[in-house]
Structure 1
Amino acid sequence: MTADNSALLSFVSKDKTNSYEQPEWKVPKPCVICGELFLPYQKRSVVCSQDCRLVHVANNNRARWQPKDHPETNCIICNTTFKPRQKNGKYCSTSCSNKRLRTVVVDCLACKRVVRRNAHGSRDAKQYCSKQCAVDHKVAINEEIRALRRIAENNKPKAVVNTCVLNEIRAIKRIARAARVSKSCKHCGEIVYSKYLLLHPNCRKEYEKTIRLAYRQKYKHTEVYKANKKAWRNKRKALERGAKVAENVNPDFILERDKYRCYICGIKTPKKLRGTFEDNAPEVDHIIPLSKGGLHVESNLRCACRKCNGLKSDRVYQLI
């Protein structure tokens, strides 16, 4: 059983339709063809029926194609006076139009031949025998014009200029050209008249020295420099103590490798106690002492606490 949807439907009552206001143009008016009154369907309606509409359209077309009032003229073929339909009409009828000359005798301006050509051809049909002659003749005319222009340009009176002024102008241009490619020296600040140089030859050594010193000052504050300095210091001390072989080994690397644990007693050696006098302060020890022929290399270095390192002294760990 379907639901009752009648309440959803809305119908227009008769009272509403009767109260609808008609537009101003919805009033009876006479037909332009038969003259009878009719109620227009659209605002632009002017006829009452289809028959009247066909008659109205035919009248408009006939009025559109009626000949305009042009002045009378004589036909160029039969010399008859007629009233043309077009503004520049020349022929009184189609038969006279068919009798017109379709070719003309042309005296070619290029090759001087007399030929007969179509009168309704290209623009050069009444001057040249062919299109190639027209192109060649126009090219020759343009070349003569250019030659005459060159002759006129060369024959112009030249202005008299002092040679000293010309030399000064050339010198100014040369200086301006050099100034466009010149740069200031990085060391002394004076102009370098060169496209590729940034320094004077005399300033190069001093500039490199200052740059090198500035780089060193900046490099000394880096962690890499500090680590390398520790390695160089330990290497120098090992060589002073009689080591035959010494490498640049950073002591912090040895302590981090052994995780800050003594290889003799196994206790933890905190990093914050590095450089103190505590018993568990971390130190770097040679397994084979340098006095016994040991080497200052990574494989011979271990992390040891300060107490064990002092007790071990210059003995081998396995012999303690």
Structure 2
Amino acid sequence: MTYSIVCLNCGNEKLSRYRTTKFCSDQCRGKYNKKNRGHKQKCKQCNTTFYNYKERTFCSYECNVKFLRDNPTPIQVYKPRPKRIKSCINCNKEYDTHQDRSKYCSYKCKYEYKVKKKPISNIKCKECGKWFSTTNKLKVFCSEKCGDKNYYRRKEMLRRERIVSNGKVHWDIAIERLLRRERHSCYLCGETVNTKTDHNDDYYPSIEHVVPVAKGGTHTWDNVKLAHRRCNYLKSDEG
């Protein structure tokens, strides 16, 4: 769509795609602005006439500040929705709310209602063999304890399979025998191990493989040493 406009400088007519076009060319715009020092405008505060190339409401910054000071913008007061009395679809308890789509009196009722709608399945625990009820069909264990027990048991089975696949195995290796052979000394840091602390303590003794099992090391007396749990962990599988 095109519009017929009249140039403010030369008075010639021109077709333009925009309704707000005022000049036929950039030269006419420059000549008009040079002649008229911009467009003739009127200040909203002091009512004086001024010229500017852009459309302005005030002739100066001071007039703008003075107008805002004399005519402060009213603060919009927030008006909350009126409260409505509703009945919870889970416990049938009446409660007040501002929300139109509210259905529950609390998050607890919302959770209970959604759980009730889910079908309950009876599943046999993969670890202890007990039957338990749940709404999650993908659940395999009845508790976190059974889940951890199954995880560590499978981890130990995989470790033993790798030990057997690496070659000869001395199944008589034990912490007590290593303590006597190494004289309670960690071979990585040289400090004494502490057997009186908890099994999960950093300085409790552990069996350390000189050549890691992950890199083909064997579980034999010539490849095992005594080390702190912390030192063993920091060394990891670096042979």
TM-score > 0.5, shorter chain as reference? no
Larger Rg: 1
Structure with the higher fraction of residues in strand conformation? 2
